[in-house]
Amino acid sequence: MDMKSTSAVKVSDITYTGVYRTSMTEDTINLSCDKDVGCTNIVLDHVNITSSSSKVKTYASCLNAHGKSFDTLPRVRCLLP
């Protein structure tokens, strides 16, 4: 019998505060969580990640991530409540 086994780690209660950095990629904030367990209570507070190139616009992306953001750049509008 061929059975697939998968596992996931539940990530919760994570806070990022006062992060100021540059990035070489457009997707500067990427919160990708497992579709079955997701991530909960993720908080981004005063997180500012800009592009290392003035020609590149940055953005945030989320997948199954629940939480809140305050004063972030790029703006993180993708977090679920």
Distance of CA 53 to the CA centre of its chain: 21
**pLDDT at residue 42 tops 60:** yes
Query: Would you place residue 22 in the very low, low, confident or very high pLDDT band (cuts 50, 70, 90)?
Result: very high
Whole-prediction pTM value?
A: 0.85
Confidence of residue 19 (pLDDT cuts 50, 70, 90): very high
**Structure tokens, 50:** 């800009």
